[in-house]
Structure 1
């Protein structure tokens, strides 16, 4: 039985919290909540369950460390506050607590992350004899586990395309996703954070370079491309309202170039309602979203992953899968060698232990 603390209860954290409570092999011992509105509330209430757990949310990190958990599930928004997040992670790891998380997406491929990030975390792991693993659905699954499966089916690969095609209309995260992608902005306004020079290659460049290393090729360069789509009509949805002239869809990608041609491409097509960018590619078979890998080679392989839920919107179902990518590996990480862990370090059979009960 692993003693676990859930750190944040947002779009992903509420689902990992619910999973931890329901798992017979995990014991929830603490919950961190940054919002004053959540502090003091029972964990069950914060993830939509009705039976109280007796575990009350706190914003006191030291009190959570004092619980001596085996692992912390760290899903707090970190990309907009990286130094603060690193400080929190260092504190946990130095105290001998293992961490799995969906935040700090640069760490999905720790071997490709910059020293400013890996240096203090590796030092903290060594000090606490602890381990850190970060993954998700994208970056994460589609660019590692799914693409590895596709590549295992070809004798020769010519190019690799990894895609996320989703309608974000019902995704309730304007403060980060909406603003960072620039939904609602006009062409004359300042570029959003995600599309500033170098940001995309920083966030998705690691998986591209990692895949190239695994394939044994040296890329000429890793570059980004961005194509916004502006609406001529008002679009209203849960994420935000877009006035005529505002951006309602965006296509962006990070490309690994080899011999002058893009051979590894990680592309997102993100729209608000089906009325946006009607000429762009949609998910196959009328599905609301897809994570897809296409390998052109011998033979051509295409894998399409659809996540769904009878109650949740497809984007929220994706958040459940993101939570699964870290909750399912807690046991293995707790027994892992000290340091930063990449998905390639983990036997795939280890991430499905204990899922049926």
Structure 2
């Protein structure tokens, strides 16, 4: 008999709303509770919060009440991490699957990592951080190396039209819409881009590399004409795109690369061009492996529906994380989370599971 996992959704923002839909859609999961960060969401039905029929489960800010629900897993999706909340959840024995990388508390390293690991040990629980990148793409690319008898370098290039993420504050913090990126903005950009440092480090662990150096390369480009996005105006000569790359090196040799290309418009100076495929993967080895990935959304999607690809790897990983050993989990610990496609088909056909 299929096991059903009781899940708590922690916040219902851009990603959390889509994660909540994913829980309701997955026959392997049962929604146990919802944590509301905003006071105006307390008492509101979960279905209402994510654009679905009412569920009978209302959001609450009462953490004690949520801990009393006998849930298995928390899907943790807030924009800013609260280390006290997460260590409390882990210490109570709940697995936590997070789309947040804990950057605002230093990332999963140093004292933060120690606190999370201690909470996992106390609760016999697991913490797994995932999403589209880091997360899904790293899992897929790491698995692709299995066809090779020799691997020299693994490279992932992400290309994204980030105008679908309508947050002027976010992009201005990274230098967009400014005539140039001052030192303070560059430091913020480097902090945000440490997300992809994590991407490289995850693959290094899974592939058995002991990196002795990580290098970041970053550049911005300005727009060739004024562009009004409706929610942000880019004056001619202000920044409209960035490119970055993390190199993971062993003994002076680059063995892992993560390229990032983000743009609000393609009307740019400098002859910059962008790939319409969202990911280009190159594994140099024997044999060399090349693949491209492009996400094609349905016409019904609005801009924020693109966050589906961040939310769903977390939803799909619930059973795999439950089967993994306690602690802070690596790509190899969790394996290949997947959608319940067969169960969905049987449900549509009116069959029983």
TM-score by length of 1: 0.84
1:136-177 per-residue CA deviation (whole Å, 9 max, x = no partner) reads: 1111222x222213322333233222111010112123344x
Residue of structure 2 in register with 1:338 after alignment: 326
Contact residue 164 and residue 306 of structure 2 kept, 8 A:
no
Aligned to 2:141: 147
Deviation by residue 1:24-76 (Cα, 9 ceiling, x = unmatched): 22221211221234333221122122x21122222232222222321111011
| Alpha-carbon contact 1:105-1:203 (below 8 Å) kept | no
The answer for unaligned runs of 5 or more in structure 2 is 345-353
Aligned equivalents of 2:140 and 2:173: distance in 1?
26
Counterpart in 2 of 1:304? 292
1:182-331 to structure 2, matched below 5 A, reads 182-187=175-180, 189-192=182-185, 195=188, 199=191, 202-237=194-229, 240-276=232-268, 279-283=271-275, 287=276, 289-311=277-299, 316-331=304-319
Residues 4 and 215 (structure 1), Cα distance of their counterparts in 2 relative to 1, 3 Å cut:
closer
Corresponding residue for residue 99 of structure 2 = 102
**CA 1:172 to 1:205, structure 2 compared with 1: closer, same or farther past 3 Å?**
same
Cα distance in 1 for residues equivalent to 2:253 and 2:267: 33
* Contact 2:324/2:333, CA 8 A, preserved across alignment: no
Shift in alpha-carbon separation, 1:263–1:138, aligned structure 2, 3 A: same
Equivalent in 31, 38, 42 of residue 35 of structure 1? 38
CA distance in 1, matches of 2:242, 2:111: 31
Q: Which runs of 5+ in 1 are unaligned?
A: 107-111
1:55 is aligned to 57
Are residue 165 (structure 1) and residue 159 (structure 2) matched? Answer: yes
Note the C-alpha offset of 1:337. 2.5
2:129 to 124, 134, 140: 134
Correspondence list, 1:85-100, <5 A: 85-100=82-97
CA distance in 2 between partners of 1:10 and 1:166 (Å): 21
Any conservation in 2 of the 1:307–1:314 contact (CA below 8 Å)?
Answer: no
How many pairs does the alignment contain? 338
3-state secondary structure, aligned to 2:155: strand
Tell me the TM-score normalized by structure 2: 0.85
Contact persistence 1:200–1:224 (CA under 8 A): no
1:109 match: none
Aligned mates of 2:293, 2:181 — CA distance in 1: 36
Tell me: CA distance 1:184–1:31, structure 2 relative to 1, closer, same or farther (3 Å): same
**Closer, same or farther in 2 for the Cα pair 1:65/1:278, shift >3 Å?**
farther
Partner of 2:343: 356
Match of 1:4 among 4, 7, 20: 7
How far apart are residue 194 of structure 1 and its match? 5.7
Q: 1:322 to 1:356 in 2, by over 3 A?
A: farther
Secondary structure, aligned partner of 1:255: strand
Separation in 2 of the partners of 1:161 and 1:301? 10
- The answer on whether the counterparts of 1:295 and 1:302 sit within 8 Å (CA) in structure 2 is yes
Contact 1:169/1:239, CA 8 A, preserved across alignment? no
